[in-house]
C-alpha cells in the first residue's frame, strides 16, 4: 500500500503542504517517478536537532582515541543486536573485536536490527556498492535526516548557513538514463523544499522545463554525483547555490575547479555509504570526519591498525544509524588518517572512480546506468572503456552465451556504437580493481576543455 | 546464459551420486571444485578442516553438508559462472557449518525443503538469483526454508525467531514502498 502524505510527512504544516503541492503540480516540473517524505515524527526530529547541537558544540576528535560513546555502544550491541550477541567478547577493547564484513550484512541484514528498535519505524534502502551485489540496508527516518546537520557542519566551517523555511533548499541533481525522482519537504529545515531531479532531458516534458523549474525553485544547496552537477552547470540558474556537495563517485580536481568556476561557490566532496552514513567531507584538503558517532580506524591487510599517515582499509564503527549499528565494518576503500589538522581527516583516499559515457545519439549517462543494465548478468569483474572514437571495449569473465547477452545489452544502451566483449580466461589474472569504468571521449563541454 | 531454474537444481541434488554421501576425502573434492571454478589459490586445507573442537559425528555432518554443496556447485549454472571467492569462503566456512550444527545431512536425501535450503544458501552466498524470482520473493522463500532460524523455535527461542521474521517482513514492505527521501547520492 502506498503511503499517504500524513504518513510520509508526519510534521507537514499548511505552508509546507502548499510548497509540496506547487512542486508536484508546477507546469515545468519533471515527470516525477516517485513519492518520498522525511517520515520524521516530533520525537525523531528532536533527536536530530540534539545531534545537530552536538555537532555545533565541538568538532569531532574521535579517531584520536576511543570515542566516549563506544563502551555503551558495544554493551548495546551485545545486549540488543542479534548479530553481535554471541560475537563480541566482553570487556575487550575495540581492537579485539572481530571485523564485520559486507558479506555478513548481505546474508543476514535482519540480524543487525536491534531488538529494541520499533519496526513501525523501519526503512529499507538498497545498495550495490562496488561489488555489484545488492544489499538490503535497514534504516529509520532519523538516519537519512542526520545527513543534514553533517552537511550544515561542513558548510558552517566555510561560513555558510542554511536558511530553510518556505523555499526550495536542496536539489539533488543526477543525469542518468532513468532514476527515482520526487519532490519533498524537510521538517528539519522548517518545511523547506527538496527535489531529486534527473536532468536527462527525456525525463522532462520539454528540455526547456529544466531551467524554468530551477528558476522557480532555486536551491540553497545542490547535492548530486559529478555527472549531474556538470549537467546542471550547463543550465542557466537565476542565482547560484551557496554550495555544491558531490558524492557517489570520486570528484576529480579538474571537475571541481570547473564546477566552482561555473557556480562561483564552494564544491565539497562527500564520501558516504548507505550502510554507514556520511564518513567524510572534503573541501580540498582531505576528507574531514564530521559525524561524531562514526569512528574510523585504518587497518592493514592483516587487521592490525595503521599509524597515522599510512594507508590501509577504512574500517568503521558507527552508531549513526540506530537500526544498523556497525562494529569494525570493513568498507573496502583505502586511505590514511591525517591527525595534523584541528579535525581528523582521511587523505590519499582511493574509492570509486567516475565515468561518463555517450551513446551514438549523443545521450549522456554514467556507470550507474551500465551497472543497472548489467545487473542481471553475474559478472564477477568487469572493465568497460569507451574509446575516444566512441567504441566500447568490455573485458570480463564469463562464458560465450553470457558474453553475447552482455554485448546485446551494451549495444542497446550505447544505441548501436561498436561494442567488443573480450572474455578473460580463468587462467589469466585479473588486473586492477574488480569493477573498472573509463571513458576516453569528451562527453561535456567542460571535459572538452580538460 | 539464463539464471538457473530451481527445479533443475533440486533435481540435480536429488540425483547426487551415492559416493558423495559416503564421506569421500573432502579436501580432494573441494580442491577439484575450486580449481574448476577458477579459484585454485583458495585455502582448501583450512576450508576442509573447519574449526577444531567438533565431535566426530558433528564433524562428519559438517563434511557431508559441504560435500552436498560441492555437488550442487558442479551444476553447469554455477560452473559456467564466475563465482566470487569471498562468497564461496563464507559458504564453506560459515554458512554450512552453522546449518550442519543443527540439521543432519541425511535430511538432504529425505526432505526437499533441505535441498531447497542448500540451493538458496548457495545462491545467496555467490550473489546469484533464480529464474523468474525477484530478490524479495527469493528472500521470502528463504525465510520459509531457513532451518537455522527455524531451529531457534525448537530451542525455545521463539521470541527471537518471531522478531527476525518480523524484521524481514517489515523491511520487505518498506522496500516495496521506497517512500523515504534521501539527501545525497551514494
Q: Assess whether B35 and B126 both reside in one domain.
A: yes
Report pLDDT digits (tens) over A245-254: 998 776 767 7
Q: Assess whether B109 and B158 both reside in one domain.
A: no
Q: Assess whether B111 and B62 both reside in one domain.
A: yes
- Contact of A186 with chain B, judged by CB distance below 8 Å, is answered with yes
Average pLDDT over residues A53-77: 83
Task: Specify the pLDDT at position B80.
Answer: 82
pLDDT at A42 over 90: yes
Residue from A7, A106, A110 to probe the interface with B (highest B Cβ count within 10 Å):
A110
For residue B9, the distance in angstroms to the closest alpha carbon of chain A comes to: 17
pLDDT at A444 over 70: no
Report pLDDT digits (tens) over B151-186: 665 555 677 888 999 999 999 888 877 778 888 877
Q: Mind listing the domains of chain A with CATH numbers?
A: 5-61+143-314+328-349 (3.40.50), 356-449 (3.30.300)
Residues of A in contact with B38 (CB under 8 A): 397, 426
Total domains in the fold of chain B: 2
Task: Specify the pLDDT at position A59.
Answer: 65
Given its phi and psi angles, is residue A120 left (phi above 0), alpha (psi -120 to 50 degrees) or beta? alpha
Q: Is B13 a member of any domain? A: yes
> pTM of this prediction?
0.70
Average pLDDT over residues A47-73: 84
Task: Specify the pLDDT at position A380.
Answer: 61
Element (H, E) at B164: helix B158-177
Q: Is B90 a member of any domain? A: yes
Q: Assess whether B126 and B151 both reside in one domain.
A: no
Contact B65, B10 (CB under 8 A): no
Q: Is B183 a member of any domain? A: no
- Contact of B154 with chain A, judged by CB distance below 8 Å, is answered with no
Q: Is B185 a member of any domain? A: no
Sheet architecture: strand order including A287-288: A182-186, A192-198, A168-174, A221-224, A243-246, A267-273, A277-282, A287-288, A345-350, A326-338, A312-318, A294-299
For residue B116, the distance in angstroms to the closest alpha carbon of chain A comes to: 16
- Contact of A12 with chain B, judged by CB distance below 8 Å, is answered with no
Task: Specify the pLDDT at position A328.
Answer: 96
Q: Assess whether B172 and B96 both reside in one domain.
A: no
Q: Assess whether B106 and B153 both reside in one domain.
A: no
In chain B, the percentage of residues whose pLDDT exceeds 90 is: 49
Query: Does B171 contact A103 at a Cβ distance shorter than 8 Å?
Result: no
Q: Assess whether B28 and B53 both reside in one domain.
A: yes
Query: Does B1 contact A174 at a Cβ distance shorter than 8 Å?
Result: no
Report pLDDT digits (tens) over A22-35: 999 999 999 999 99
Residue range of the domain that includes B165? 146-178
Report pLDDT digits (tens) over A290-315: 999 999 999 998 889 999 999 889 99
Q: Assess whether B113 and B150 both reside in one domain.
A: no
Report pLDDT digits (tens) over A144-177: 999 999 999 999 999 999 999 999 999 999 887 7
Query: Does B127 contact A151 at a Cβ distance shorter than 8 Å?
Result: no
In chain B, the percentage of residues whose pLDDT exceeds 70 is: 95
pLDDT at A432 over 70: no
pLDDT at B149 over 90: no
pLDDT at A450 over 90: no
From the number of C-beta atoms within 10 Å of its C-beta (0-12, 13-18, 19+), residue A85 rates as middle
- Closest partner residue to A110 among B95, B164, B185, by Cβ? B164
Q: Assess whether B104 and B15 both reside in one domain.
A: yes
pLDDT at A371 over 90: no
Q: Is B137 a member of any domain? A: no
pLDDT at A447 over 80: no
pLDDT at A443 over 60: no
Q: Is B93 a member of any domain? A: yes
Query: Does B185 contact A119 at a Cβ distance shorter than 8 Å?
Result: no
Mean pLDDT of the residues in chain B: 88
Query: Does B164 contact A245 at a Cβ distance shorter than 8 Å?
Result: no
Query: Does B167 contact A145 at a Cβ distance shorter than 8 Å?
Result: no
From the number of C-beta atoms within 10 Å of its C-beta (0-12, 13-18, 19+), residue A277 rates as buried
- Closest partner residue to A224 among B175, B181, B185, by Cβ? B185
- Contact of A177 with chain B, judged by CB distance below 8 Å, is answered with no
Mean pLDDT of the residues in chain A: 88
Query: Which chain A residue shows the shortest CA-CA distance from B182?
Result: A144
Q: Assess whether B50 and B74 both reside in one domain.
A: yes
Task: Specify the pLDDT at position A448.
Answer: 34
For residue A366, the distance in angstroms to the closest alpha carbon of chain B comes to: 13
Cell numbers of B101, please? 550444527
Given its phi and psi angles, is residue A248 left (phi above 0), alpha (psi -120 to 50 degrees) or beta? left
pLDDT at A226 over 90: no
- Contact of A194 with chain B, judged by CB distance below 8 Å, is answered with yes
- Closest partner residue to B184 among A110, A119, A223, by Cβ? A223
Q: Is B123 a member of any domain? A: yes
Q: Assess whether B68 and B18 both reside in one domain.
A: yes
Q: Is B140 a member of any domain? A: no
Q: Assess whether B48 and B126 both reside in one domain.
A: yes
Contact A134, A128 (CB under 8 A): yes
Q: Which of A192-196, A338-342, B24-28 is predicted least confidently?
A: A338-342
- Contact of A131 with chain B, judged by CB distance below 8 Å, is answered with yes
Task: Specify the pLDDT at position A133.
Answer: 63
More confident residue, B78 or B80: B78
Average pLDDT over residues A258-275: 94
In chain A, the percentage of residues whose pLDDT exceeds 90 is: 60
- Closest partner residue to A124 among B80, B175, B181, by Cβ? B175
Amino acid at each position: 500500500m502506498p503511503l499517504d502524505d500524513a504518513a510520509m510527512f508526519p510534521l507537514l504544516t499548511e505552508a509546507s503542504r502548499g510548497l509540496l503541492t506547487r512542486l508536484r503540480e508546477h507546469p515545468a516540473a519533471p515527470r516525477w517517478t516517485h513519492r518520498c517524505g522525511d517520515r520524521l515524527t516530533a520525537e525523531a526530529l528532536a533527536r536530530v536537532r540534539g545531534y545537530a547541537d552536538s555537532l555545533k558544540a565541538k568538532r569531532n576528535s574521535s579517531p584520536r582515541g576511543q570515542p566516549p560513546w563506544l563502551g555503551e555502544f558495544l554493551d548495546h550491541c551485545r545486549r540488543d543486536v542479534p548479530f553481535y550477541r554471541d560475537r563480541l567478547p566482553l570487556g575487550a577493547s575495540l581492537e579485539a573485536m572481530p571485523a564485520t564484513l559486507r558479506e555478513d550484512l548481505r546474508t543476514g541484514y535482519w540480524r543487525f536490527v536491534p531488538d529494541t528498535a520499533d519496526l513501525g519505524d523501519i526503512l529499507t534502502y538498497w545498495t550495490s556498492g562496488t561489488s555489484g551485489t545488492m544489499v538490503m540496508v535497514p534504516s529509520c527516518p532519523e538516519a537519512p535526516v542526520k545527513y543534514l546537520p553533517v552537511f550544515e557542519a561542513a558548510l558552517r566551517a566555510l561560513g555558510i548557513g542554511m536558511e530553510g523555511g518556505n523555499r526550495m533548499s536542496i536539489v539533488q541533481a543526477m543525469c542518468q538514463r532513468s532514476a527515482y525522482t520526487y519532490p519533498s519537504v524537510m521538517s528539519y529545515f522548517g518545511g523547506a523544499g527538496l527535489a531529486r531531479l534527473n536532468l536527462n532531458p527525456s525525463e522532462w516534458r520539454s528540455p526547456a522545463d529544466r531551467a524554468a523549474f530551477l528558476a522557480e525553485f532555486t536551491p540553497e544547496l545542490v547535492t548530486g554525483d559529478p555527472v549531474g552537477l556538470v549537467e546542471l552547470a550547463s543550465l542557466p540558474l537565476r542565482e547560484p547555490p551557496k554550495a555544491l556537495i558531490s558524492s557517489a563517485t570520486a570528484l576529480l580536481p579538474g571537475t571541481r575547479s570547473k564546477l566552482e568556476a561555473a557556480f562561483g561557490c564552494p564544491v565539497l566532496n562527500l564520501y558516504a555509504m548507505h550502510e554507514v552514513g556520511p564518513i567524510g567531507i572534503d573541501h580540498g584538503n582531505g576528507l574531514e570526519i564530521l559525524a561524531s558517532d562514526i569512528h574510523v580506524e585504518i587497518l592493514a591487510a592483516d587487521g592490525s591498525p595503521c599509524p597515522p599517515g599510512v594507508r590501509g582499509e577504512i574500517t568503521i564503527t558507527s552508531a549513526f544509524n540506530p537500526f544498523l549499528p556497525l562494529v569494525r565494518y570493513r568498507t573496502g576503500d583505502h586511505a590514511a588518517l591525517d591527525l595534523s589538522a584541528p579535525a581528523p581527516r582521511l587523505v590519499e583516499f582511493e574509492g570509486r572512480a567516475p565515468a561518463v559515457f555517450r551513446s551514438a545519439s549523443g545521450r549522456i549517462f554514467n556507470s550507474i546506468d551500465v551497472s543497472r543494465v548489467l545487473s542481471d548478468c553475474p559478472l564477477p569483474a568487469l572493465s568497460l572503456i569507451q574509446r575516444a572514437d566512441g567504441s566500447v571495449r568490455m573485458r570480463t569473465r564469463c562464458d560465450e552465451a553470457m558474453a553475447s547477452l552482455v554485448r546485446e545489452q551494451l549495444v542497446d544502451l550505447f544505441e548501436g556504437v561498436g561494442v567488443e566483449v573480450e572474455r578473460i580466461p580463468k587462467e589469466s589474472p585479473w588486473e586492477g580493481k574488480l569493477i573498472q569504468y573509463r571513458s576516453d571521449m569528451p562527453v561535456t563541454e567542460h571535459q572538452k576543455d580538460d | 546464459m539464463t539464471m538457473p531454474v530451481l527445479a533443475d537444481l533440486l533435481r540435480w541434488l536429488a540425483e547426487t551420486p551415492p559416493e558423495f554421501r559416503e564421506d569421500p576425502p573432502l579436501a580432494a573434492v573441494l580442491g577439484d571444485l575450486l580449481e574448476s571454478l577458477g579459484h585454485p589459490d583458495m585455502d582448501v586445507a583450512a576450508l576442509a578442516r573447519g574449526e577444531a573442537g567438533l565431535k566426530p559425528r558433528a564433524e562428519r555432518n559438517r563434511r557431508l553438508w559441504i560435500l552436498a554443496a560441492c555437488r550442487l556447485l558442479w551444476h553447469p549454472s554455477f560452473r559456467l559462472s564466475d563465482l566470487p571467492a569471498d562468497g564461496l569462503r563464507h559458504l564453506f566456512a560459515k554458512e554450512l557449518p552453522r546449518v550442519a550444527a543443527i540439521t543432519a545431512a541425511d535430511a538432504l536425501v529425505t526432505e526437499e525443503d533441505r535441498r531447497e535450503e542448500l540451493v538458496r544458501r548457495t545462491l545467496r552466498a555467490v550473489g546469484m538469483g533464480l529464474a523468474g524470482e525477484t530478490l524479495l520473493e527469493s528472500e521470502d522463500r528463504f525465510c520459509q526454508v531457513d532451518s537455522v532460524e527455524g531451529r531457534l523455535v525448537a530451542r525455545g527461542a521463539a521470541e527471537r525467531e518471531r522478531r527476525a521474521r518480523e524484521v524481514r517482513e517489515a523491511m520487505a514492505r518498506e522496500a516495496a514502498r521506497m517512500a523515504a527521501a534521501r539527501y545525497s547520492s551514494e
